[in-house]
Copies of this chain bind each other. A is one copy, B any other.
């Protein structure tokens, strides 16, 4: 846009400068454009009047700049692509003892998210602000930066944990705080969005902890930008469509059904696009509704769903145990068609797994359409596409596909995006957030993401499922361990959430630590199967003795870790993870020979066996007859080439949670095999998996409150 030297002020005013990312002023004084006309984050470029020699065409709300003006702009955009961030980090005021997470979060004033977005090189049009501290980032960025090399890709995984968790999220956040706020290296943390259910149940928040947190933690733990709500809406629309369709098919003739499915509207009768697609799948090439034969009408109009095969369940984002098994359809209006069903927690929806694995809007739409919800009475799969609901699901998910930008306690950027279950799904945050972050940090920067559960589950799935979907190659694995968990693996007493820790865990006990390091060693070996260097991060607690800490680090290095470093980020913020950050940076420059564990071409059972033997250390696997018949069915239906997503307890390398350390000689029992065809994996069940948590006698909502004057949230932890 030319300045008032070129344009009368009146004419400038009529331009919608509020939509511009770049305003070019034909003057050496950028201030010639009155500030009230432009939005924040807009870049002003000054240039001499000569540069403005091209014709400037002004159309309604858009200004089109031609000739050398345009070239100049392109050059400028190019120059924006590679740069070290000029990030204003937030200072920590460390207190001892460390206050509660919500107190720490509230004591820090986050930067306005539009400022953060600008600092990390996002253009104004690539950001959708949600309040002061959250923003969604548009996927168009991937196109703009497609030629920019990716940064380094770091996975944080863990040893087999205690039920208390070993602090992987805290390490993830501490590491990026160290990299960016203390070592001045561009870095991004990519995290899962937590389910809201447990926030009000037992678990409390999941935004890291202590001085390594995402802030504001109450935003992180509550609705965020509505992605899980969108998943719930899409999931339940599909569920409602299944039952309603069965009812309508059961109560109507082919002709009535067809007349309703393809009605005359304003005198015209036509198939909708999604109906034409179904006709093509049925091998019917006709497009005139009047020309179908009775047999074709029958084929088109009847999905003939076998209700006993329905695998699609309804979801809520609430811990509601009474919905674990229910009977639906008992109102008179449903004419006696009752069936047993269940609700899962929303994050267990296949749509969540799809959100985490998808690479574009087009890809997401295809995956949504491919989701298999049941079989028909001939044993063929029935999909969301068959039900005509693909487009509606994509519409419901159109904003959820954009990652949400937040910040750490030290003001460094974080993406929060997708949070699939770590058992019946792959438990990793989204491919898209990682891809965008890898572009934003630039070649020398780091993206740190996290795998749920122990490395035997979360990391294995990260490599074999998520990296296969994304094509991304990890540079380093950070393996998180605690002295507490190692002592448990060495034979220490049970660790139970809620109960005080036994003295073995609060007093020095080098023997227990030494014995328990077998689990750490095994998890290091698992990482090495994939050819990626591993750095052990020992998450230090105040009861850990220096001798215990030294012992773990020594054994870790002897076991093949590139390095092993104690970390204090929980009590000291990024400063406490500087050594870890330095080790990770070095490791990222090591030779990397990343490879998948198995070929997709292998039969389903063979792939399961490879994981069980090579990763879990099982002697063999044993499929129940039901599992075997499912394997046969999926293979016959053409789904045999999908990767495997094991649903196994995370509390042991084996299927028996009480077997700590490195169990051997066990036969892994596969009780059932299911499939998430849209997400793109087969998931064998090792034992029963609960997909709906419950509320305890005293849920943590007893402590949660809102101050109506200050609007502050209290009691989240």
Contacts and interface: CB of A to CB of B under 8 A. Distances in A.
Given A274-B705, A317-B233, A703-B272, A392 B200 contact: yes
B701 A237 contact: yes
Nearest to A23: B35
A319 interface: yes
Contacts of A602: none
Interface in A671-717: 694-699, 701-706, 708-709, 711, 713-716
A699 B245 CA distance: 10
Interface stretch (A123-131, A437-445, A566-574): A123-131
A328 B334 contact: no
A662 to B, nearest CB: 32
Interface stretch (A176-184, A395-403, A603-611): A395-403
A252 interface: yes
B272 A702 contact: yes
Contact of A321 (B317, B333, B709): B333
Interface string A334-370: 1000001010000000000000000011100100000
A334 B261 CA distance: 41
Contacts of A360: 708
A571 to B, nearest CB: 17
A601 interface: no
Interface in A8-65: 18-19, 30-36, 38-40, 42-44, 61
Contacts of A272: 702-703
A317 B232 CA distance: 9
Given A33-B35, A112-B19, A233-B223, A394 B705 contact: yes
A701 B40 contact: no
A404 to B, nearest CB: 12
Across chains A and B, which 9 residue pairs bring their CB atoms closest together, nearest first?
A: A391-B705, A229-B229, A392-B701, A324-B331, A240-B320, A31-B31, A362-B708, A260-B697, A325-B331
Nearest to A239: B320
Contact of A398 (B109, B226, B711): B711
A165 to B, nearest CB: 19
Interface in A208-256: 218, 222-223, 226, 229-230, 232-233, 236-237, 239-241, 243-244, 247-248, 252
A236 B316 contact: yes
B200 A237 contact: yes
Looking at chain A, what size class is its interface with the partner chain?
A: 35 or more
A699 B241 contact: yes
A193 interface: no
Majority-rule SS of A interface residues: mixed
Contact of A392 (B44, B247, B361, B704): B704
A623 interface: no
Contacts of A112: 18-19, 39
17 contacts: A18-B112, A31-B32, A33-B35, A35-B35, A36-B43, A129-B131, A196-B233, A218-B395, A236-B320, A241-B695, A260-B698, A322-B328, A324-B331, A388-B701, A388-B702, A391-B714, A398-B706
A285 interface: no
A389 interface: yes
A494 interface: no
Interface in A290-337: 314, 316-331, 333-334
Given A223-B230, A326-B326, A395-B222, A706 B361 contact: yes
Contacts of A261: 697-698, 702
Contacts of A42: 35-36
Contact of A44 (B30, B36, B322, B698): B36
A310 to B, nearest CB: 11
A222 B32 CA distance: 41
